[in-house]
Structure 1
């Protein structure tokens, strides 16, 4: 799979804003591979990004805003296959509406995942059916909002006894933060900055 650009990138991740914390990508004994789909919906004059609100009963990241995605299974055709499968399972997105553009490289999370953000265009009209076991809601946020650095807030909180920094991109009643906002910031840095 092609990177979005020909430039080679250092792995990105939660550790970039937190140099006093270990580099999650190198210090973890076992990293789990995952992929997410950054679905850019072509709305003519305004493109948007497809996001989900996770259900409140999930064991991890309950109620948070996320890209469709998850663990890469052995049967998947790499990160692209996993991202497409998960998008279909979570929101009912049909792969024939998706055109893969490339990926952003590896993004390491503090929870032990090496995530490959797969970028694609998605053709409307979209008839989506969120899986109620995983997703409360599917929605779109304008790409212009997410790629405006004035909307990228650097926040902090307590994590394992130390101050931890992360990005947040509040939009209307939505609070986009953590890994999702971090990946969006990588998209901004690598494509738009």
Structure 2
């Protein structure tokens, strides 16, 4: 295969093509925060009124040849926040992480699903994602190189599964829905995948990934 010239985006949804897009487009406008407030501008004041706790998640892009996939988890029903929801592995950034999102994302991923850091090649970040539940989340982008083994922590993770990157980056699979919250209509994205229902913060981060790299 003849390699693409520098600065040229590659077609398809392989891990290599994804990494090329991150290298070319991934550093644009990192200072522009994304979050729940983009679809609901009146939430700006609510988010700004309270201090946000820094957190990080890993967006794990698995190298599966021509068709990369994304690792997602289902949080257990006993979690204090976002219980039972589909999520990226991750959590709060602690002092032991030297307050670095990459260290926190890798540590939390290992604690939650047993994925060892030696299998992960970090390639970039997305802008911070601000939530009404009190978090400022830095999504860390990483290529996951097989073979690897997963060992989900039963206290935090009910299940682990993979979704084709091509499915998640297809805007036809992004549904803009709404519900009434605090007496107002609130909008959010959903991405149903079989019997898995991806929505909320996770769908918002996926949508950000699409808008930055593929739109």
Short-chain TM bin: over 0.9
Alpha carbons of structure 1 residues 8 and 83: separation in structure 2 relative to 1, 3 Å: same
Q: Distance in 2 between matches of 1:90 and 1:114?
A: 20
Residue 161 of structure 1, aligned match among 168, 175, 183: 183
5 Å matches for 1:32-71? Answer: 32-71=53-92
Deviation, 1:29, is 2.6
Task: Name the counterpart of 1:21.
Answer: 43
5 Å matches for 1:69-148? Answer: 69-77=90-98, 78-148=100-170
Q: Distance in 2 between matches of 1:54 and 1:132?
A: 9
Deviation, 1:126, is 2.4
| TM-score (norm: length of structure 1) | 0.95
1:51-89 Cα distance to aligned partner (Å, 9 max, x none): 001111111111100000000001104000000000000
Larger Rg: 2
1:24-46 Cα distance to aligned partner (Å, 9 max, x none): 55x13311000000000010121
SS at match of 1:85: helix
Q: Distance in 2 between matches of 1:140 and 1:131?
A: 17
Alpha carbons of structure 1 residues 150 and 23: separation in structure 2 relative to 1, 3 Å: farther
**Which residues of structure 1 form unaligned runs of 5+?**
none
Structure 1 segments, 4+ long, off by >2 Å, are 2-6, 20-25
Q: Distance in 2 between matches of 1:117 and 1:17?
A: 19
**Which residues of structure 2 form unaligned runs of 5+?**
1-21
SS at match of 2:198: coil
1:144-187 Cα distance to aligned partner (Å, 9 max, x none): 00000000000101111111000000001000000000000000
Deviation, 1:20, is 2.7
SS at match of 1:156: strand
Contact 1:24/1:109, CA 8 A, preserved across alignment: no
Contact 1:15/1:24, CA 8 A, preserved across alignment: no
| TM-score (norm: length of structure 2) | 0.85
Asked if 1:30 is matched to 2:29, the reply is: no
Residue 6 of structure 1, aligned match among 27, 33, 55: 27
Asked if 1:149 is matched to 2:171, the reply is: yes
Alpha carbons of structure 1 residues 100 and 24: separation in structure 2 relative to 1, 3 Å: farther
